[in-house]
Structures are given as structure tokens and as C-alpha cells.
Structure 1
Amino acid sequence: MTQEITVHGTVAEGFEAVREEFAAFVAGERDDYEGQLCAYVHGRRVVDLWAGEGVTGESLYGVYSATKGAAHLVAALLVQDGTLELDRKVTYYWPEFAAEGKGALTLRDLLAHRAGLIGTGTGFTLAELADDRAIAERLADERPFWRPGTAFGYHALVIGALTGEAVRRATGRTLQELYEERIRAPYGLDFHLGLPADREPRFRTVQPMLPTAEQQALLDGLPTGPHTLAAIAFNRHGAEPTDLEGLLNERRIRAKGPASVGAVASARGLAGMYAAAISEVDGKAPLLKEDTLAEFGQIHSAGYDLVARAHGSFGLGFQATADTWHPFLGAGAIGHSGANGVQSFADPRSGLAYGYTRRRFVFPGGAAPENDRLAAAVHRAALAGD
């Protein structure tokens, strides 16, 4: 017998249709569905909903590549400060990076997934994936898989480590330390790059995908050779192939918070971070000035992604969210999805900041399909209220 899942939480006046849309989606889901939805408009929280047995608005989930949004918000702040310069060569900050023909690559091209440095020929261990310094040290000596700057491909498990090493060389601080001091702690965000032990009881273990027979057939038809670019980028080719679905269930990953995939957050934390990036929140000025936001939101790489073997587009560190996921958003929207269905973004033109979490991996990976209807409902309500 199917058990009805109750939707909890609140919406502001004018956003009642968002609750209805969320409830309609949840009603069609499996009994074990868990998820959260949160949104801010012009710095004010207008949607705060959750559903699932044992879930609250404070439950924490692994957010996988949505981590990259936090990592590159730090990079944007350092560019805004003048500490990092986008058109400097990476070697200006990190001389060892020059090995194997990488010496001409700029920081701008690195952040736009154009380095060709998607992994190593022999793969990473789990201990290395937990440690951005270890990843960076390995990659400094690696030969790129394409000529740097000539094409792009998703640096799925390593882009945060590469950005983070440039940050560390320029500041003497880790990216995680700067994120904590400048972003997470001042706003009290439940979005952690390194989950403290005392918050572990709020973490909901990741549940694996349950594809239908038709979906499984599609997955079985994907190129799976051990030396494809996708296999290398997702570390499926070495002595310790990565189980992506189980990665955030490893305490060592959650504890260290590697800047590509290791963050733990609630939907409130995701949406709150993007709200702080673009809007005044609690009397604090937006983290990013308009010109910085425009620079990082401008599309730098678009077209055929060599790793995904499909169309993709990136700004600087962020996905170009309007092109990649939600075309109804304004130009210059920034954000990043997560492999388990998580979605998070900021749309500066409408003032919307959005966060969505879910516990179970969803086919085919990346922002879950329900985000199309949920994000559209929030966006319509935000525009109607302007």
C-alpha cells in the first residue's frame, strides 16, 4: 500500500503555487522519497519546504558537484579583491604546474574547464580524492588529455583541487578555510566544505539510483571503456574505481570537503549561499559586485563537452545554468548541479536564489528532472512579485 508523503514547511504570500507544485511532484514519488526545496528572492526567503520520513529543514545531504559553486564563489571573491587575476598564467601562482606543456594556461581557461587535466592515467585512491592537496600534486606532473585552451571537458573530480591550489599559492590559505571565514560562518549557512563531527547526526546517507529497465538499458549502452575520457574524469579506470553513488557516504570525504564534490548541505544552505552572492541578506551587502558577477556568469566554454560527449556550457567555475539546465532563467545565471539530483543557482536578473536536495540518486545524474517544474514555478512567482 502506498503511503502518502507529507510536505512540510512554509512559503511566502504569492508562492503558494510552488508548494502545490512540490506537493504534486512528491505525490507521484516512491514511498522513500526525501527532498528539500528552498528559494530566496532579493535576499528574502520565500520557499522553505521538505518531505520524507525523518526529514527536516535542517537535514543535511551530500551535494556532489554543487560543491563547485561554493569553491568558485571563493575564487570570484579573490578576483574581486585583486588577489587573483584571471588572465595571469596559472604558473604565476603555481610554478610546478608548467610541467608537460601546461605552462601557457591562464587561470581563466582553467576555471572554464579548458585545461585538459581531467585526471591521471592511473587514477586516484579514495584517500587522494579526499585531499585536494594530493590531487593537485599529482596533476601538476600530468600531461593534459587535450591541448590546453583548445577545447573543454568537465573536470568532474578535480576542478576544485586545481582552483584550490591556485588559491592556496596566492593566499597561503586553503579554499576551504577561506570559504568558512568569508562565506559560511558570517551567514550561518548549512553548506559545509568539511562537515564538523557534531553535525554528522543530521547527515542523511546517500541512497543509490534505482533505474527502470529502460533506463538501465540506456546506461548499459554508454561507452564504458577503461580509458575513455569519461572513465578518467570520473576515476573509474584505476586500481580503486570510484563508486560515485557511495562517495559522500565516506566520512573522510565529508570531513575534508574536497572542493569538487565533497560538500554537505541543506537546501537552505544552497539557496542561502547564492542569495548572499547576489543580494543583500540580513543587512549585509551582496558578496559579488555586478561586474564580478557578470564576468563569472559570462559563458566561456560552450559546445561539445569532450568528457560528457554532449552539449555543455560553463562560465568561470559555475555552470551556465540558463543554457545547461533552465532556459527560462536570465542570461548570466550562475550555479551548479550535483550528480545525485541536487540543483542550486542564482539568477541575478530576477533576484532568485534556488536550492534543491534529494537523498536518492536519480537517472541520469545531474539536476533531477523535477527541478524543471520546481524551478520554473519559483521563477514565475518571483517575476509576478516584482
Structure 2
Amino acid sequence: MPGTTSLVHGTVATGFEGVAERFATVVAAERDPGAQLAVYHRGRQVVDLWAGQEVSGDSLHALFSSGKAAAHLVVALLVQDGTLDLDRPVASWWPEFAAEGKAAITLRDLLAHRAGLIGVDGGFAVAELADDRLIAERLASQRPYWQPGTGYGYHAFVIGALTGEVVRRATGKTLQQVYEERIRAPYGLDFHLGLPEHLEPRYVPVQPLFPEDREAAAAHAPAPDSLTGIAFNLNATPPTDLADFANTRMVRALGPASSGSVGSARGLARMYAAAIGQVDGHPPLLRPGTLAEFTTPHTPGRDLVTGESDHFLLGFEAQGVRYPALGPAAFGHSGAVGAQSFADPATGIAYSYTRRRFSFGGGGGAPENQHLIRAVVQAAGSAR
């Protein structure tokens, strides 16, 4: 497409040229076109694209809640191993968690965002949000914000710390250590829960909303004491600024599983490809039974924090609800900057889109993901 394809760098496999054209259209419409798009199809990388003056295919972006998918892959592997039991009470591993009426909450309840433990009174300091152990310590004594099991709501800043503490109590290792040993290192993933110092030069700082969009967002911001405000730590003093948070080296170094992931679209797409199929001779991470368990809808109805309907599978966001072109078992997670990633077992697609600047009105993944995903699904459907 004249005037747009010159913005885009990278490669696509034969049959996926339409994805490159759609990506070019998307970035041409952006005031800040910094973005990456990577796609695997049945274990083979078929899309590797990027745009923006400060962005390359190797750039590392702050991917925020995208790390929840890595955390839940760790949990799925430990369930698959028999190390964790989804229906066992959390307090059986973590006795302190039983305080304030939480003794009956199970690991499944945590993963389904049914625990009502979305934050803490008075909010978290930045140093606490950066450290999953400190988050877990405060949550152990916190009362739930609704009766556990009676509803569900996105545990935005804390779910990785909650499940991570279960992982630590059950294995003696942090969730980040298990991810490194079982997933990131063996598969060579450029996606990190804890960014090593030597990779810092590849980090592209996240950019906040443009000023006019920031003003519009502020006008629609939730009340600090609402469930949404508490879940996003707006009840803290000062409220958490996501761009400042991600651009803090301490956050990137510690890699809190809910909010501190850093990586490239290549790395994240490869992780999802490995979850569902063979990649470079490695067997799939998840066996069919485990995959079926974790891609079963667990949260019918309205999310009390985000307002979305039928938001979660088990730990992962239900991608088929957001993106009708995908199968019902498609699982993944968005990231606050507008990033979106997932695997769709029905089509063999593993997809990751990253941005360097926050998207306004994205509601999870940025709006352009709708167009990109349709293009990817169409190309995959035509591929032999």
C-alpha cells in the first residue's frame, strides 16, 4: 500500500502478505507508530513485523499483564505434574492466608478471580507492587472485598503474587524461577519476568497517553474507593501511574508476575506457540487434558472490576469473547499498554502485538487488534 508499507520492517511467510498490509495500515493511522507483531502458525513463525523509529524486532517493551499468562502457564505445568491441586485450599500451603475468612478459598478460586482479594486498604506503595513477596504478605491479612465465590473481578495487580506464593510454598522456588527454568530458558523466549541488567539497553521506555487523551482518560477515571479503583491501586497515595511504574528499573528487575513483564512480540508469540504445539522439536508444554482444563470458562457473568462479560477461562482471559474470529478455547492475556497475545488451539495460531505508547479506549488489547487478528485468522485459514 503506497505511503504505508515503508513504515513497516520485517518479514511474513507466503500467504500472510495481507497481515503485513493490515499492520501497515494500522501503524500509519497512529501518531506514534511504535509497535511489533509476531505470529506463529502450527509451530512455525509466519509474521515478524515492527514499525517506529525507536523500535526494532529486538526491542523489549513493558508488557504489563501479559506476564499473567506466563504465571498461569507455570501453574498449569505444576498442576499437570501433580504438584498443585486446583481444588485444594490455598491456606493448606499458605496458613497465614486463612485470616479474615479466607480459609475455604481454593487455588481454582484464585485463578478464576473469585477470591475478592483485589487489593489492600490504603493501596500499595510502588516498592510493594514491584515485589510479589511483599504483595503476598499484605494480602494474607486483608479481608476480601466481596464474599469469595459469589462473584468475580479482575485481580489486576495481585493475581500473580497470590498464585506465586502458592507456587513458592509448594516448590520452594519463586514463580519467576520456575518460569525461567521450565519455560523461558528451554524455549529461548525473549520474554522476561525479571529483566537482566545486561538486556536493559534493548528496553524501549513505555510512553504515556498523549496529553489530550490523558485528560479524557482522567475525566472517566474510576473513583479510588471503587472496586475498579482498588484493583488498579488508585486508592494509594499517590495513585499508581502505569508508565512511571513500568519505566522503573526496580520493577523490571524483580518482574512482578501481574504487572512487570518485559519482552518482545517474538518472545511472547513463541511462548504461546510452545504452550499448544511443537516448537523447534520441543514437545508442547501443555498436554491435552491440561489445556482443556485451563481453557474451560470459569467466570460467567459480569466482571465486578472491568465490567466485561464472561472474562476469564482459568487464569487466562477468554479470547473468543473479545475476538469472535477465534475459537472458544483461545486463551491469552492483554497488557495495559494495549498489548495482546494468545494461542488458539483450534487454528494453531499464536499471536502477539506490542506497543510502546498507551492506547486510549483499548479496553484490554488496543482496538487495532480486532483488525490484525481478523487478518491473521484469514491468512491462517488459507495456508496449507
Give TM-score, length-normalised by structure 1. Answer: 0.95
Per-residue displacement from partner, 1:249-307 (whole Å, max 9, x unpaired)? 01000000000010001000110000000010000100000111111111101221111
Contact 2:54 2:204 in 1 (8 A): no
Report what 1:57 is aligned to: 57
Report what 1:74 is aligned to: 74
Q: How many residues align?
A: 380
| 2:351 aligned counterpart, secondary structure | strand
| 1:336 aligned counterpart, secondary structure | strand
Counterpart CA distance in 2 for 1:33 and 1:228 is 34
Contact 1:123 1:240 in 2 (8 A): no
Report what 1:289 is aligned to: 287
Which deviates more, 232-241 or 37-46?
Answer: 232-241
**Cα distance change of structure 1 residues 238 and 107 upon mapping to structure 2, 3 Å threshold:** same
Instruction: Write out aligned runs for 1:261-276 (5 A).
Output: 261-276=259-274
Report what 2:219 is aligned to: 220
C-alpha deviation, 1:219, in angstroms: 4.8
Per-residue displacement from partner, 1:218-269 (whole Å, max 9, x unpaired)? 6514432x31111111111122421112211010000000000100010001
| 2:75 aligned counterpart, secondary structure | helix
C-alpha deviation, 1:71, in angstroms: 0.6
C-alpha deviation, 1:212, in angstroms: 4.9
Counterpart CA distance in 2 for 1:368 and 1:105 is 33
Contact 2:39 2:48 in 1 (8 A): yes
| 1:344 aligned counterpart, secondary structure | strand
C-alpha deviation, 1:312, in angstroms: 4.5
Report what 1:341 is aligned to: 338
Per-residue displacement from partner, 1:299-342 (whole Å, max 9, x unpaired)? 1012211111343410111101111x211101111100001010
Verify: 1:28 aligned to 2:26, yes or no.
no
C-alpha deviation, 1:210, in angstroms: 1.9
| 1:153 aligned counterpart, secondary structure | coil
Contact 1:193 1:263 in 2 (8 A): yes
| 1:330 aligned counterpart, secondary structure | coil
Report what 2:163 is aligned to: 163
Counterpart CA distance in 2 for 1:361 and 1:207 is 6
Report what 2:374 is aligned to: 376
Identity among equivalent pairs (%): 62
Counterpart CA distance in 1 for 2:312 and 2:296 is 8
| Matching residue within 299, 304, 317 for 1:301 | 299
Counterpart CA distance in 2 for 1:218 and 1:311 is 22
Contact 1:126 1:240 in 2 (8 A): no
Which deviates more, 373-382 or 152-161?
Answer: 373-382
**Cα distance change of structure 1 residues 217 and 200 upon mapping to structure 2, 3 Å threshold:** closer
Report what 1:260 is aligned to: 258
Per-residue displacement from partner, 1:127-176 (whole Å, max 9, x unpaired)? 11111000001000010000111100010000000000000000000000
Per-residue displacement from partner, 1:12-41 (whole Å, max 9, x unpaired)? 0110111111112222222x3200000001
The residue type equivalent to 2:10 in the other structure is G
Report what 1:15 is aligned to: 16
The residue type equivalent to 2:356 in the other structure is R
Counterpart CA distance in 1 for 2:112 and 2:338 is 22
Q: Which consecutive residues of structure 1, in runs of 5 or more, have no partner in the other structure?
A: none
| Matching residue within 314, 317, 321 for 1:316 | 314
Counterpart CA distance in 2 for 1:239 and 1:330 is 42
Report what 1:112 is aligned to: 112
Counterpart CA distance in 1 for 2:127 and 2:46 is 40
**Cα distance change of structure 1 residues 108 and 47 upon mapping to structure 2, 3 Å threshold:** same
RMSD over aligned Cα atoms = 1.5
Report what 2:179 is aligned to: 179
Report what 1:357 is aligned to: 354
Contact 2:273 2:349 in 1 (8 A): yes
Contact 2:361 2:367 in 1 (8 A): no
Report what 1:235 is aligned to: 233
Counterpart CA distance in 2 for 1:122 and 1:206 is 27
Verify: 1:246 aligned to 2:244, yes or no.
yes
4+ residue runs of structure 1 moved beyond 3 angstroms? Answer: 215-219
Q: Which consecutive residues of structure 2, in runs of 5 or more, have no partner in the other structure?
A: none
Report what 2:98 is aligned to: 98
